[in-house]
Amino acid sequence: MAAASSGLNRFYVLLGATAVAAAAALAFVTLRKPDVSIPANVVVQAADTTGFSGYYLGSDSAPITVTEYADYECPACQQWYTIQFPTIEERLIRTGQVRWRYRDFPLDMHRNSRPASHAAACASEQGKYWEMSHRIYSWEPNWTLKADGNGIFRDHAKALGLDMARYDSCMETAKFAGRIQAGRNEGGQVGVGSTPTFLINGRLYPGGGAVHYDMLKAMLDSLGRTTSR
């Protein structure tokens, strides 16, 4: 009788362990975030561009507008953003002399470029585009070395205080894939061949060293529109 009781106890222990494992597996499937994949070369719909022509920073009455075509995973773009952009933003954009326009130009060789652009677009939907862009371009932690950087982008979204249910839905549905492709198409149409490339007054300036504070200030000086800083 004792042997039978012991066997029955082992049966219930195994049954309980199986139930716990099953519950854990169900919880994992239920709670884990679906994989995020942002398609490339999608057909751009009218809704993708209606009311949107890029991400803008600065006064719409600024005498110079610079359009930047860039890729978040491009080392030259990251370096330019880190070294050159802060001075331009502080001295020229915030003072109303330059208006900045950013357009995504994801390169096919970079696996995390479109997800990074899409994370920024989803942050833009909640009014945090430039804050997210800054975090992504910091490359901290180095998401460019990962097969999938979406976890890091999601951490950035949390740190910015975004509505995470809304952010997750935006990412999982690839809501702005067409917007990103529209930027890529526009860059191709104006002749962009590498990143970063800048468009000013109908002229392209390719390369990370092409556009900097002194160059833009000289342009403004020629127009007689520079304010001292």
pLDDT tens column, 78-99:
999 999 999 999 999 999 999 9
CATH number for the domain that contains residue 87: 3.40.30.10
- Same domain, residue pair 10 and 82: no
- Same domain, residue pair 56 and 91: yes
- Same domain, residue pair 63 and 16: no
The pLDDT, as a whole number, for residue 224 is: 84
- Same domain, residue pair 8 and 59: no
Domain count, the chain: 2
CA torsion, points 221, 223, 205, 87, in degrees to nearest 10? Answer: 40
pLDDT at 31 over 70: no
- Same domain, residue pair 133 and 65: yes
pLDDT at 32 over 70: no
Residue 37: inside a domain, yes or no?
Answer: no
Select the more confidently predicted residue: 106 or 25.
106
The pLDDT, as a whole number, for residue 36 is: 85
Tokens of 185: 């198409």
pLDDT at 42 over 60: yes
Residue 189: inside a domain, yes or no?
Answer: yes
Residue 229: inside a domain, yes or no?
Answer: no
Q: Is 56 exposed, middle or buried (0-12, 13-18, 19+ CB in 10 A)?
A: middle
Residue 147: inside a domain, yes or no?
Answer: yes
The pLDDT, as a whole number, for residue 13 is: 45
**DSSP letter, residue 44:** P
pLDDT mean over 195-217: 96
Percent of the chain whose predicted confidence (pLDDT) is above 70: 83
pLDDT mean over 174-183: 98
pLDDT at 142 over 60: yes
pLDDT mean over 21-44: 64
User: Could you tell me the strand order of the sheet in which 64-70 lies?
Assistant: 55-57, 98-104, 64-70, 197-200, 203-206
d(CA 188, CA 103): 12
Degrees, nearest 5: CA angle 149-70-222: 150
Residue 144: inside a domain, yes or no?
Answer: yes
Query: What are the CB-based long-range contacts (under 8 Å, 24+) for 138-147?
Result: 138/82, 139/78, 143/112, 143/116, 144/73, 144/110, 144/112, 146/112, 147/111
- Same domain, residue pair 185 and 87: yes
Residue 198: inside a domain, yes or no?
Answer: yes
The pLDDT, as a whole number, for residue 178 is: 98
Range of the domain at 72: 46-223
- Same domain, residue pair 84 and 108: yes
pLDDT mean over 25-34: 44
Q: Considering the entire predicted model, what is its pTM? A: 0.84
- Same domain, residue pair 24 and 136: no
- Same domain, residue pair 208 and 124: yes
pLDDT at 15 over 50: no
- Same domain, residue pair 73 and 14: no
